[in-house]
Structure 1
Amino acid sequence: MDMTLDPLNSGSIKRIRQACANCRRKKTKCSGERPVCFHCRRNRLTCVYEPYSTTISDPPAPPLAPTASIPTDQSNAKLLQRLSTIESRLAELSGCAPAGNGNNLSEFSLPGNHISTSGESGARSFPPAPVLRSVLGTYFEHVHNQPYSYFQEASFHEKLQWNVLPRCLVLAVLSSAVRFSKHDYYAGRTQEASERYARESWLSVLTEHLTAEDNLNVHVVQTVNLLAVVDYTAGRVSSGWLKIGLAARISQDLHMMDEPNQWLPFTEQEERRRAFWSAYLIDKLISCGRSRPLVILNEDCKVQLPCDEHTFREGEWKKTNTIEQLLSWNTEVTESPSPFALVILMASIFGRCTRYVHQNRRADEIPPWDPKSEFSAINSSLLLLESYSKIGTRRVSDILQTETESVDRKEVGHLVFARALFHLCHCLLNHPFLVRLRLKAFGSKAPTSFSARSLQVGCDHARHIMDVLRDAHESGCLIESSFYAYCIAIAGGVHSLASHFEHQSATRRQSDISHYFNESLDSLGRLAKLWVHAANMAVRLQEFHNISHQFASLLDPTCLTEDVDPASQELLWSMIDYGILGADPNQKPLTPQNTIPTLQTPSSGALGSDILENMQLQFENANQDIFTGLTPTMRLNEAEYLLNCSPRANGMI
């Protein structure tokens, strides 16, 4: 039997029956406290006591690659973990666990209706157990697969019971889900709760993972991905962008761009894939702006695309294509990609589109109508995706009505998102301002028919964005993703410019354009109840519409040689750049300098400022007690630099 001094009761001898896995691996004396020994508590490690059968001898060799017909390894792993958990609980009940584990904040459990943690501070960082369970349920209803996907729901709850989910991840999940919660515990304070949980989660990542040796894993990637979205949508643009860069680098360090080890359970293999592809997806979406190059490149992605939801839920394995295979016209595809895989494919094309719009340095060399141009290549890729998914050929309501028994609403949500991205790409490629910039270099050589056709295509796809989202919403789908705000704002900007075009066809009457523009504002107002950046976009869109008549010349194919003054160009760029469009409009005036006075119209004030003022009043009048257990204010202020890593982190771009 191993014998060691008890660090909490120096001078006494404590006889322990078993050392934890960390102490055995590092060949150090283990104090034997349950559930966390002194060594793990001091080094902030996850302390695991393995069953005796796995600790008597050296660890066994990795099991053989699992097959679909013999899921023995996965079952054994679950059984061993359950035995370990039961052993820890028995040790606690028998009084073997000391009372002084306050420094370990990384584990908690949900036995019955009571939440227990490895320390008072950790316990107070989480809501009561019933509230926690409610918010986690909200996460899988409103956040999971909207569009990012990280967990198999059953596996997540099981790991929560096993105490193997790190504290930072649970806090990040709470931060992402609480804005959708209807629980009385957060009445009027969901936004503040989201911010507090996000801060605590990020501090936990810094102290327990980034500054600890060999403590990076897929959970850290999942956490930082979630926090990047929270930051970006709250207006901390640079902070969110830097976080997704960090998540991408961690995933690459863990070789998540390659296929996972085959000895892992199938569910964990797919979770690793989805964590990587979610990081890839976020990278593509939030890099839609100038001076924000992409981090993850297609040629580095060797891992196969996500499988369908049924296969994932059942914990089965399925061979799927890689992104390179599906982006090639020569690949023989025998089975349609899963809806989540279609989102990834569409995001890849969208990333190429944003590089062309914001960062293409050779735009003046090849005209967009040339078959060798990037404009033509992107349109070709969009046709390829259309062949995979039949985008635009079926309404969402028709899909739900004809396939009620077999349709998966989460997968329908991915189809809706892919369609919205598809139409968004066409809106950006054919945006009146951007087309004018591309054609100006060619002067009188630019065919007027190209400009006129681009305007019509852009207007049509702006209308399609609103049609798809309206149809999905009326069919009962959740249209709550933060990125929908950007899609709607771009469509609204196109409608605003088109409303001043004098040569509308019979099918594009002014009343139709006004209807779609007003619908864009209404949709942003609905999303503003959930997302701060959506409220900012609504204000900017309304103010832009009040002055958009000054840019009517952009739509005239005969006026391509006229210059647009720099201030007006900056204004028009601000209506396309995701980071600027979602930033607080009060921090950077929208109107061009020295040309247009500050805009304070009744419609714009009522639409945007009231939303933000009401949110602020709710925070000020709400009960403050539910957050008293979180990190003290002084600590939060000291961490502000780490949370917002750039002087431009609040959207000051």
Structure 2
Amino acid sequence: MSHWRRQQPGVACEDCRKRKLRCDRQRPKCGACSNSGLVCEVNTDRLPRGPKKGSLKAMRNRIMSLEEQLHEVDRRAPQRDQFAGLNHDTQGKRAMRDGEQSQYSDSNNSEEECDQTSPRGVKTLAAVRGEELLSDLMQADLDQLYFDRVHATVPIIHKYHYYVWSRNPGLKHSQVCLRNAMWILAMSHSSQFENVREAIYNETRQKLEENDLSENNMNVVQIEQVQAWILITSYEFLRSSYQRAWFSAGRVFRLVQLLRLHELDNHSELLQMLSASSSQEEEIGREERRRAFWVAYCLDRFISVQNGLPLTLNEEVICTRLPCLESEFETGKIMRVSSLSEAIAACNVQTPLSPLAECAILVTLYGRALSHSHVSTVEQYYGNTTQDFWFRHEWIDFKLREKADTFALKYPTTTIFAEPMLLMSFMILQATTLYLYKIMESMSVDDSCGEKVLEYQIQAITAAKKIANLTKEHARIGYFNGHVFIPAAIYLGIERLMIQRDAHMLDMQFLEESSIGEGLDGCLEILRKIQSVNNLAKYYLNLLDSGQLGDSRPLQP
């Protein structure tokens, strides 16, 4: 049976193409152009339609190669159903088993699903895929992202030292966990990598738990374990369950105590002699331990003050000096820094301190305000309220004023906003002032102290306005550059501004002149904007929406 051609041989003219006519392809002039009296133009240089020669074959070969790789993964991972929870629905799970769709099709798992997915649920996936989840280029990108966005708020890892050991082929178990934890936290500071972040997080957390519970480690704890748990805890406060983060923080504190990081400089004279003969690498390692302790110390204060709970790491037993300057840490030329008690007592403008050291000093005052609150509550319970209340209260207030003056002289406004840890420190300064007045409000104060109460009230309102101004500036530096606990300070400012607004609801002139409404709106706006990347912001917004001002009990999972 013969087949007629669909069209005449040759190329249609340009005019017939434009008018979508069937060209008879006659030359030198087709029939349509002859009838209309137009010039018949033919483009002989037009590219042919369809795929290039050999491209389909190359695509088939590539598909076959990918299928072989998937079969190899199936052979090595027979229990892939364990991590089917990474997908949204049963169709995704079935397709994952059949190899018809990528294992990582879902890039937006809900937090509830992540909580229900056991860390052990992705063991096989992470064990099989591991680094294969991330290409070499992605790994390098995450390393850079960590030191660009995360290191400023968690400065516990020496950059050059990390690049040296992370490139070694035979990494220790704790080093692998630390490297993965760095990547996970870096992913949480970016809008990319959503499709692999939870899988790597679950696998890394499981490895850390197995290492902690191992019967063969002879109670030997590596500093990388502490560092990894610090980063995992920070990630969980940002993106995971608050309760899980709380428990992880407890692991951090116990590991810090087990390694006795609170007494690294207990024998200062002996250490000074040893440091003179020690290598630069040993000095960097010792400084990394100091920094791990102080970040854990700050974490303890942030969590405890937020929920009004007792502290875990006791300030009175610390024999570890404050962390050195960031420039000294990076170059390895580490100088001796004062102790915490010396820094609080001296408050010297001329003495340069690292942002982490400044934060440690201020969270110490924050923690002392919390202890002051606990002691005052017990005194009131037993009816033993004495002048000790005012002595403690005024001492903390004096140190806060002294620190505020020092801060103003040492750090210009531009420097504070350029350094996330300094910005957080300044927020803590104002938040502690608010917390002091909050303690006074909860106490039965004599009428004779009315003048003092009024003075502290004015200080609290001023501190709330400063938090509002800082929050406005914080919005300009980007959502991913802020400290994880900055929503807690913003909430304290909102709480005081709301109380002040409600007290002067009928005095519109006062509200306009005092800019309370503007500051309040600015704080609420930034919390709404960062709630997608910070679960604490979401929590405080829910607290405000429910009208439970002053209630900052632990979050539920």
With structure 1 as the length reference, what TM-score do the two structures score? 0.57
Percent sequence identity over aligned pairs: 16
Following TM superposition, by how much is the alpha carbon of 1:363 offset from its aligned partner in structure 2, in angstroms? 5.0
The DSSP-based 3-state class of the residue aligned with 1:373 is helix
C-alpha distance in structure 1 between counterparts of 2:324 and 2:479, whole Å: 21
Following TM superposition, by how much is the alpha carbon of 1:455 offset from its aligned partner in structure 2, in angstroms? 2.6
Following TM superposition, by how much is the alpha carbon of 1:136 offset from its aligned partner in structure 2, in angstroms? 2.2
String of CA shifts for 1:47-99, please: whole Å, max 9, x gaps.
xxxxxxxxxxxxxxxxxxxxxxxxxxxxxxxxxxxxxxxxxxxxxxxxxxxxx
The DSSP-based 3-state class of the residue aligned with 1:302 is coil
Give 1:115-514 correspondences, 5 Å limit.
121=128, 123=130, 126-146=133-153, 148-163=154-169, 164=171, 166-183=175-192, 186=193, 189=194, 193-211=196-214, 212-214=216-218, 215-234=220-239, 236-259=241-264, 262=275, 263=278, 265-290=282-307, 292-329=309-346, 335-357=351-373, 360-362=376-378, 364=380, 372-386=390-404, 388-390=406-408, 395-397=412-414, 409=418, 412-431=419-438, 434-438=439-443, 441-442=444-445, 445=447, 447-471=449-473, 473-474=475-476, 479-502=481-504, 509=512, 512-514=515-517
Following TM superposition, by how much is the alpha carbon of 1:484 offset from its aligned partner in structure 2, in angstroms? 0.9
Change in CA separation of 1:151 and 1:380 when aligned onto 2, cut-off 3 Å: same
Change in CA separation of 1:123 and 1:515 when aligned onto 2, cut-off 3 Å: same
Following TM superposition, by how much is the alpha carbon of 1:276 offset from its aligned partner in structure 2, in angstroms? 1.1
Following TM superposition, by how much is the alpha carbon of 1:309 offset from its aligned partner in structure 2, in angstroms? 1.1
C-alpha distance in structure 2 between counterparts of 1:234 and 1:277, whole Å: 23
Amino acid at match of 1:373: F
In our comparison, the structure showing a higher alpha carbon Rg is 2
String of CA shifts for 1:4-31, please: whole Å, max 9, x gaps.
xxxxxxxxxxxxxxxxxxxxxxxxxxxx
Amino acid at match of 2:301: K
Answer whether contact 2:238 2:533 (CA < 8 A) is retained: no
RMSD: 3.3
Following TM superposition, by how much is the alpha carbon of 1:492 offset from its aligned partner in structure 2, in angstroms? 1.0
C-alpha distance in structure 2 between counterparts of 1:334 and 1:284, whole Å: 27
Please say which of residues 535-544 and 468-477 is displaced more in the overlay: 468-477
String of CA shifts for 1:567-625, please: whole Å, max 9, x gaps.
xxxx3441xx2x54xx3xxxxxxxxxxxxxxxxxxxxxxxxxxxxxxxxxxxxxxxxxx
Q: 1:534 aligns with which of 531, 534, 537?
A: 537
Amino acid at match of 1:259: L
User: Structure 1: which 5+ runs fail to align?
Assistant: 1-101, 104-118, 401-408, 545-570, 584-649
Q: How many aligned positions are there?
A: 414
Following TM superposition, by how much is the alpha carbon of 1:395 offset from its aligned partner in structure 2, in angstroms? 4.6
The DSSP-based 3-state class of the residue aligned with 1:481 is coil
Please say which of residues 524-533 and 534-543 is displaced more in the overlay: 534-543
C-alpha distance in structure 1 between counterparts of 2:468 and 2:401, whole Å: 21
Following TM superposition, by how much is the alpha carbon of 1:294 offset from its aligned partner in structure 2, in angstroms? 1.0
Change in CA separation of 1:277 and 1:127 when aligned onto 2, cut-off 3 Å: same
Amino acid at match of 1:295: T
C-alpha distance in structure 1 between counterparts of 2:531 and 2:341, whole Å: 37
Answer whether contact 1:337 1:388 (CA < 8 A) is retained: no
Amino acid at match of 2:521: N
Please say which of residues 230-239 and 524-533 is displaced more in the overlay: 230-239
Of Structure 1 and Structure 2, which has the larger fraction of its residues in helix? 2
**Match for residue 591 of structure 1?**
none
Give 1:19-98 correspondences, 5 Å limit.
none
Following TM superposition, by how much is the alpha carbon of 1:495 offset from its aligned partner in structure 2, in angstroms? 0.9
Answer whether contact 2:178 2:224 (CA < 8 A) is retained: yes
C-alpha distance in structure 2 between counterparts of 1:386 and 1:513, whole Å: 22
Answer whether contact 2:465 2:519 (CA < 8 A) is retained: yes
Change in CA separation of 1:209 and 1:442 when aligned onto 2, cut-off 3 Å: closer
Following TM superposition, by how much is the alpha carbon of 1:343 offset from its aligned partner in structure 2, in angstroms? 0.8
